[in-house]
Amino acid sequence: MSSLPPTSADAPVPPDQFPGFVDRVFAHLQRADQRRWGHAYLLGLLTTPGKKTVRRLAAAVTDSPTASQSLQQFVNSSPWEWEPVRHEVARWAEERLRPRAWTIATTVLPKRGDHSCGVHRRFVPRLGQTVNCQVGVGLFLSDGGSAVSVDWRLHLPARWMLPHLRQQVRIPDDIRPQPVWSDAFDMVDRLRRHAGVTPLPLVADLRDGRRAGDLVRLLARQRNDFVVAVSADFPVLPLNAAGRAPYSPTAPGIRHGLPSAGVVRAGSVVGGCLRGTHLNAGAPADLVHLTAAATPGVRERRVYRLFTDRRRPSVVWITNMVRHRAAELSSLVGCWTGTADAVRDLRQDFGLLDFEGRSYPGWHHYMTLVAAAHAYRTLLGSPPRSPARELEPVPA
Residue 77 has pLDDT above 60, yes or no: yes
pLDDT at site 124: 81
Helices within 240-383 (DSSP H only): 266-269, 271-274, 326-349, 360-380
Structure confidence at residue 16 (pLDDT): 67
- Tell me, what's the pLDDT at 254? 36
Please give the pLDDT value at position 196. 86
Residues of the domain holding 271: 226-319
pLDDT, residue 249, reads 38
Distance CA 178, CA 156 (A): 7
Q: What is the mean predicted confidence (pLDDT) over 199-226?
A: 90
Q: pLDDT class for 6, splitting at 50, 70, 90?
A: very low
Tell me the pLDDT tens digit for each residue of 345-377.
Answer: 999 999 999 999 999 999 999 999 999 999 999
Closest CA to 44 of 78, 16, 72: 72
Cα torsion angle, 42, 47, 49, 53, sign: negative
Predicted confidence (pLDDT) per residue in 41-53, tens digit: 999 999 999 999 9
Q: Report phi then psi at 109, rounded to 5.
A: -115, 95
Is 213 within 8 Å of 189 (Cβ atoms)?
no
Residue 343 lies in a domain: no
Mean pLDDT of 269-294: 58
Task: Give the residue with greater pLDDT, 311 vs 122.
Answer: 122
Say how many domains are in the chain. Answer: 1
Structural domain contains residue 161: no
In a domain, 258, yes or no: yes
CB of 362 closer than 8 Å to CB of 75:
yes
Cα–Cα distance between 228 and 226 in angstroms, integer? 6
Q: For residue 297, what pLDDT is reported?
A: 53
Q: What is the mean pLDDT of the chain?
A: 82
Could you tell me which residues are beta bridge partners of residue 104? 139
In the prediction, which pLDDT does 143 show?
A: 93
Query: Of the given ranges (173-182, 204-213, 293-302, 350-359), which has the lowest mean pLDDT?
Result: 293-302
For residue 135, the SS3 value is: strand
Residue 97 lies in a domain: no
For residue 390, being part of any structural domain is answered with no
The answer on pLDDT for 243 being more than 90 is: no
- The model carries a pTM of 0.84
Does residue 141 lie in a domain region?
no
Which ranges constitute the DSSP H helices of the chain? 17-25, 32-47, 54-61, 67-76, 83-97, 163-169, 180-190, 212-221, 266-269, 271-274, 326-349, 360-380
Residue 120 β-bridge partners: 133
| 90 part of a folded domain | no
Q: What is the pLDDT of residue 312?
A: 81
Instruction: Establish if 251 belongs to a structural domain.
Output: yes
What letter would DSSP give residue 195?
A: I
